[in-house]
Amino acid sequence: MTSRFTMALHALGMIALEGDRAPGRPLTSEALARSINTNPVVVRRVLADLKRAGLIETRRGVGGGVALARPAGRISLRTVWEALEGREQLFGRHPSGPNLACPLACGVAEYLEGLYGDAEAALKSSLGKVTLAQLQRDVARRMAVPTRATARRAAAR
């Protein structure tokens, strides 16, 4: 797994937070890059994958930027992971396959394949249980950053 997944979650969290604070106002890749502490070109590459997956929408020109394409509660972290990392193996395998002449190689490869498969299934299951909205709420709670929902609850008290 690469840092692209972490950058994507950071960017999506910022986009969701901005959508709560100022609905309809998109964020620019430059603003996201400043928050993530990376180059805007790196952010744009991550955003391109998220757009291909239908997770974000982009608007060009003055007032343009990036917004969520669907509610944060309908975007699982697994969906984000699959958009960015799903084509890659989570664990590297033997680059040339196991040496068939080695008495241990095939057994180790088969054993590790099962172990890696179980780990990948556990990761997918865990990421599938968390939505972007849940991530946003949990981070906001830790950072005491109000979301629209928490602001409404506070106003109702």
In the block, tokens 């109702």 appear at: 156
Task: Tell whether pTM > 0.85.
Answer: no
Tens-digit pLDDT profile for residues 88-135:
778 887 778 788 888 888 788 889 989 999 999 999 999 999 999 999
Per-residue pLDDT, averaged over 21-32, amounts to: 82
Q: Residue 157: what pLDDT?
A: 67
Rounded distance, CA 133 to CA 136, Å?
5
Lowest mean pLDDT among 6-20, 21-35, 124-138: 21-35
Sketch out the chain's domains with CATH numbers.
3-156 (1.10.10.10)
Contacts of 140 (CB under 8 A, 6+ apart): 17, 146, 147, 150
Please check the confidence at residue 55 and state whether its pLDDT lies above 80: yes
Contacts of 136 (CB under 8 A, 6+ apart): 13, 16, 17, 20, 72, 147
Counting Cα atoms < 13 Å in the Cβ hemisphere of 9 gives 21
